[in-house]
Homo-oligomer: A and B are copies of this chain.
Amino acid sequence: MWFDFVFFLSQPLSCSWVFLWEKGYQETDSVVSSVTTKVKGVTMTNTSALGSRIWDVADYVIPPQEKNAVFVMTNMIFTLNQSQSHCPELPDDNTECNNNSSCVPGYVSTHSNGIQTGACIPYNSSIKTCEVFAWCPVEDDYHIPNPAFLQGAENFTILVKNNIWYPKFNFSKRNILPTFSSSYLKNCIHDAQTDPFCPIFRLGKIVEAAGQNFQEMAVEGGVMGLQINWDCNLDRAASHCVPKYSFRRLDNKDSANTISPGYNFRFAKYYKDSSGIETRTLIKAYGIRLDIIVFGKAGKFDVIPTMINIGSGLALFGVATVLCDIVVLYCMKKRYFYREKKYKYVEDYELGTSET
């Protein structure tokens, strides 16, 4: 029957394809990983408020260590010498006032810097705002420094150390490959073309590889993903199992995205002055958070998935018989003849007719 022929040809082909291409003969396992990072680089700024100032790792990496992530501050708004006291609130629609009657004592909203005292006092020579009890003076973040305060962050480097483990196969490897020499690691910078396995990344290059402009991103901050893909076929030599790096901006930066763009947070450094009064420097830190995302699957020959897949592959052959039957018995011109051949009526037997 030519149906048989078509099915017997198509099925082994599709089965083999699934079996070989999708590696149906392999047991698979997901990666377990640990990541540590180390940022290097210094940069200098020169402003009227702070004078000349040098910034190093302990200044711009906040918090100093994180799991699978690192934050590098690239821009900031600092408010020096805040103390708990009374001062005028930042002017906006709700806080501008003409006299005390516009200000409600005890009022506080989501966007407040403090709690209103009920007084209306001058913010500057032209505007009066409600007085608040707060960390004073309150932060004025209307103007974000542009270009970014720590422009030099473009040249900072990040060493990413990544160890992976496939528990089922007890296979572990690190992204510092055994072929690296000590001097190579001291000086290399990751580059997709020339140094695809160097685990030291220049911050500016990461951002550019994701199709972004570093200096633009540095102003308002953002979240970058550094993806490390460890897909490995462990039926081959371990030296073929190498990381593939890729870069991606994880927070959408599009023109429509005008609401709370970028990435920033506030933190403070606390001091006590000589009279024991607590003061603080409030910092609104804009910067680049680098999430290191490790993923991958390893496959290795194993008898159980092989059997299961061969089994269900072979089961497909059974389909041919059934489909042929259906076609032959219900669709073809000569179907009556086939039915006659296919089915024997048992009643015949009981009537004594034993003819085949």
A64 x B64 contact (CB < 8 A): no
Complex interface: chain B residues within 8 A of A321 (CB): 318, 321-322
Interface 0/1 of A292-323, CB less than 8 Å to B: 01000000000010011001101111111111
Question: Which parts of A222-236 form the interface with B (CB within 8 Å)?
Answer: 223, 225
Q: A52-B133, A185-B260, A318-B319 are in contact. List 16 more A-B contacts (CB 8 A).
A: A34-B225, A34-B291, A36-B263, A36-B289, A38-B260, A54-B114, A56-B114, A62-B64, A64-B265, A66-B67, A172-B252, A174-B257, A178-B256, A270-B271, A314-B323, A355-B356
Tell me, rounded to whole Å, the shortest Cβ–Cβ distance linking A328 to chain B.
10
Pull 10 A–B residue pairs with CB atoms less than 8 Å apart, ordered by A.
Answer: A11-B311, A18-B304, A18-B308, A36-B251, A63-B65, A63-B66, A65-B267, A66-B67, A318-B318, A341-B356
Report the separation of the CA atoms of residues A344 and B328 in the bound assembly, to the nearest whole angstrom.
Answer: 13
Query: In the bound complex, how far is the Cα of B319 from the Cα of A159, in angstroms?
Result: 56
What number of A residues sit within 8 Å (CB to CB) of B?
110
Copies of this chain held together in the complex: 3
Q: Could you tell me the distance between the alpha carbons of A134 and B258 in the complex, rounded to whole angstroms?
A: 38
* Residue with the highest number of chain B CB atoms closer than 10 Å, among A65, A113, A134: A65
Flag whether A209 is at the interface (Cβ < 8 A). no
Q: Which residues does chain B contribute within 8 Å of A312, judged by CB atoms?
A: 311-312, 315-316
Q: Collect the chain B residues with CB atoms within 8 Å of residue A225's CB.
A: 32, 34
Q: Are A311 and B110 in contact (CB under 8 A)?
A: no
State the CA gap A330–B1 with chains docked (Å): 15
